[in-house]
Amino acid sequence: MSVRDQTADQLVLRPATELSALLTRGELSPVELTKAFIARAKRYAHLNAYISLDEGGALRQAQVAEDEIKRGEIRGPLHGLPMAVKDQFDAKGLRTTAGSVIVDYVADQDATVVARLREAGAVILGKLNLSEFALGGNVTHPHGIPHNPWDVTRQAGQSSSGSGIAVAASLCAAALGGDTAGSIRGPAAWCGITGLRPTWGRVSRHGAWPMAWFMDTIGPMTKTVADAAMVFEAIAGHDPKDEHTSTRPLTPFEAREGLGGLRVGVVRESIDNGMTTPDVVAGVEAALEVLRSLGATVLDETLPLFEHGGLISNGLADSEAAQIHRKFLRERPEDYDFASRRRLMAASLVPAAAYVKLSRFRMLMRRDVMAALDRVDLLVTPAQAEGAPKIATATGLTSKEAVMRQFFGLRAHRGPFNLSGVPAMVLPIGFTPADVEAGHAGLPMSLQVIGRPFAENAVFQLGHAYQQATDWHERRPPLD
């Protein structure tokens, strides 16, 4: 069946760029598409992707978009596209909870990223679930346990869990997530979608609840790399309301054929470490073969401090988070998830000397990452050590050693890059083998692609070429 013959109910499974083309040509009704996504979000509400679904508001926005498109007033590729945003970002007239019970208000203005989506004509379907205050690591979920659509007994990743679920399960056409220390890349990897952490300073954080100021970023979570580029271009750019956004002009992504001339460095410490499972290693090796077949030169690279990425990233980010939460921690400690509370209270005691030492190690990490990116155009690693784990009911942190095993060491594939402020994107590269005993038919595996500062287009190029040659991004979870 051709795309043109499909109903809105069927089209919700297609990438946002395909929907965009139909919408802006007037071949698909924004109202019908919005209705289809709303119906699907309700049908699969048990996944707990949404905290707030704004049915009435979304349909009104869709009607406005439909009228504008009929008049030929096309705002751009997001016009009429039903999207959703992590409930870390304010959206005027909608409830913000930041995934907590401590914060609960109706926003009187849009976060800059939401305002930019609206200016581009996107329809905001609602606010998506997340880990409490975007911290990640919480065990209880006041707005419902986020369920991985590939296996509902498993985690959807943290902290942009609702965004990962909503895109993977086609409960919106595209979503926004936030990434401090992996919160876009983790859920995207475990849910089998594409997720971009932009260069720090490329996308405004105004109107977003902070997790850790020096690493917070906002980016697209989408079905494809082309979708991610389309959404990124709508939200990126200088914002006077966020003084740390870059004034550097944005160059639209234009896909080219193949990867000829591109040098790709594989961070060996992310693979040869005894922690990344053989299934994931095999998946990455297969992906590298695809990159070679597209003309890329694949080289080994090294980041000697890679194993310390988790410690440096968590140690610094948690220290900042503890300061952000100091008032709530004093006044309402019992209203936090117990794991969040313990984490933040412990981080409140990190000595200043330790924070400064970690900050200096951060500079060493950045120096190593930048040196590697001088030798090659892009770096790649697995996005995760293994497929999504089972939903946790306890922290399991019954000793100092257990804390070290869980948070530090070679399982932290994403830390070196959020520490360095560089763009990093994950995209699906296959599935782990089915495991009857574990109760799943295969869990998503992903590749992380890292670029130089502000080189999002180079990251997109590799990912887009890979997706032109493979069909992992076309797979959809069996929800029924």
Q: Binding residues for another protein, per CB under 8 A? A: 199-201, 214, 244, 246-248, 251, 305, 308, 311, 315, 326, 329-330, 333-334, 338, 341-343, 345-351, 354, 356-364, 366, 395, 397-404, 407-408, 420-421, 452-455, 457-458
Most distant pair of Cα atoms in the chain: their distance: 65
How far is the C-alpha of 354 from the C-alpha of 364, rounded, in Å? 15
How far is the C-alpha of 8 from the C-alpha of 13, rounded, in Å? 9
- C-beta of 381 vs 420, nearer to another protein: 420
Helices of type H across 198-277: 225-235
How far is the C-alpha of 414 from the C-alpha of 479, rounded, in Å? 29
**Catalytic residue, candidates 100, 131, 159, 319:** 159
126: helix, coil or strand? strand
- Helix, strand, coil in percent for the chain, rounding step 5: 40, 15, 45
Q: What is the smallest separation between the CB atom of 139 and another protein, expressed in angstroms? A: 11
**Catalytic residue, candidates 183, 270, 319, 340:** 183
Are the CB atoms for 129 and 246 separated by under 8 Å?
no
Our answer to whether residue 159 is catalytic in this structure is: yes
**Catalytic residue, candidates 29, 52, 86, 163:** 86
Cα first-last separation, the chain: 22
Q: Taking Cα atoms as reference points, which of 387, 135, 152, 171 lies closest to residue 281? A: 387
- C-beta of 92 vs 405, nearer to another protein: 405
- C-beta of 76 vs 409, nearer to another protein: 409
Q: What is the smallest separation between the CB atom of 31 and another protein, expressed in angstroms? A: 40
Q: What is the smallest separation between the CB atom of 364 and another protein, expressed in angstroms? A: 6
Q: What is the smallest separation between the CB atom of 247 and another protein, expressed in angstroms? A: 7
- C-beta of 31 vs 419, nearer to another protein: 419
- C-beta of 186 vs 315, nearer to another protein: 315
302: helix, coil or strand? coil
Backbone angles phi, psi at 184, to 5 degrees: -95, -45
The angle formed by the CA atoms of residues 267, 272 and 276, to the nearest 5 degrees, is 95
Q: What is the smallest separation between the CB atom of 13 and another protein, expressed in angstroms? A: 34
HSE at residue 11, side-chain half, CA atoms within 13 A, is 26
Annotated catalytic residues are: 86, 159, 183
